[in-house]
Amino acid sequence: MTDALSGYPVVVTIPVAWGEMDSLGHVNNIMYFRYFETARIVYLEKSGLMEIMKRSGIGPILARTSATYKKPVYYPDTLSVGARVATIGTTSFIMEYLVVSKALGAAAFGDAVIVTYDYTRRAKANIPDEVVKAIESLEGCAPGSRCVVEDFDGDVSP
């Protein structure tokens, strides 16, 4: 893992596939959202939110996502994709991603607003306490400190 990813508690390794490249010969921009998704799901599994969704119907829904591309990536290569929670509120949180190419270094970064959603009621739901605690643990916060910023919940309804 590179120093650039040291602040990301979840890092996944993804080999670049030939079919991910576009007609210009570099990885197509849409693939980065798949890379982000892969890291996001691993993070959400580690936080317990995916298991809670199976039990209660309360789980994540993507409200917004963005990417910034720094360097074009080419096949063959291997990517390390980091995910972390930067901001947490009552019903939503912001995740940040960093894509590091083995060949080129930092290649892209992105973020996403994730809303905790009750799929049964079709409405936002509070982030379960056990998930907040798991995020604190993943991010290296003292238990109960909510070391990430609180009360983020702006207009992020899906």
Structural domains of the chain, ranges and CATH numbers in brackets: 3-139 (3.10.129.10)
Question: Which pLDDT tens digits describe the chain residue by residue (158 residues)?
Answer: 569 999 999 999 999 999 999 999 999 999 999 999 999 999 999 999 999 999 999 999 999 999 999 999 999 999 999 999 988 888 999 999 999 999 999 999 999 999 999 999 999 999 999 999 999 899 988 776 656 544 344 433 33
Instruction: Encode 56-89: b = buried (16+ Cβ within 10 Å), e = exposed.
Output: eebbbbbbebebeeeebbeeebebbbbbbbebbb
Q: How far apart are CA 51 and CA 54, in angstroms?
A: 5
What does the pLDDT read at residue 147? 62
Q: How far apart are CA 68 and CA 111, in angstroms?
A: 9
Cβ of 50: how many Cβ atoms within 10 Å? Answer: 16
* pTM listed for this prediction: 0.90
Confirm if 105 and 118 have CB atoms less than 8 A apart: no
